[in-house]
Amino acid sequence: MKERFDALIDHLANAGFFLEQAVEILEKGMIERALRTTNTNQSAAAKLLGIHRNTLQRKMVEHKIAGKRPRRKPVARAQSKTVRRRRKAS
């Protein structure tokens, strides 16, 4: 395994990639592979990568990786106690 990484490092260094570019290529590739492996299940992909699901979603936006965005549950309107009391009293 180390030999394969050494070869990759040599390839990237000889091709003139900067560290930031190399990290982006590796990170994007690993995220895409994890999403394919888990059939776009972001929670499972995050677990596979060893990162939090929110971090995965942030990185997906960063790297412009398409994927289903989780639907947010509608926020229930909280009624104040006085409004509820008035309704009960009526």
| Predicted pLDDT at 67 | 77
| Predicted pLDDT at 57 | 95
Q: Which residues, at least 6 apart from 51, have a Cβ–Cβ distance to it below 8 Å?
A: 59
Residue with tokens 């990290």: 23
- Which domains, ranges and CATH numbers included, belong to the chain? 2-69 (1.10.10.60)
CA 83 – CA 25 distance, rounded (Å): 56
pLDDT digits (tens, 9 = 90+) for 46-70: 999 999 999 999 999 999 998 766 5
| Predicted pLDDT at 74 | 73
| Predicted pLDDT at 47 | 97
Give the residues of the chain that fall short of pLDDT 70. 68-73, 77-90
| Predicted pLDDT at 83 | 60
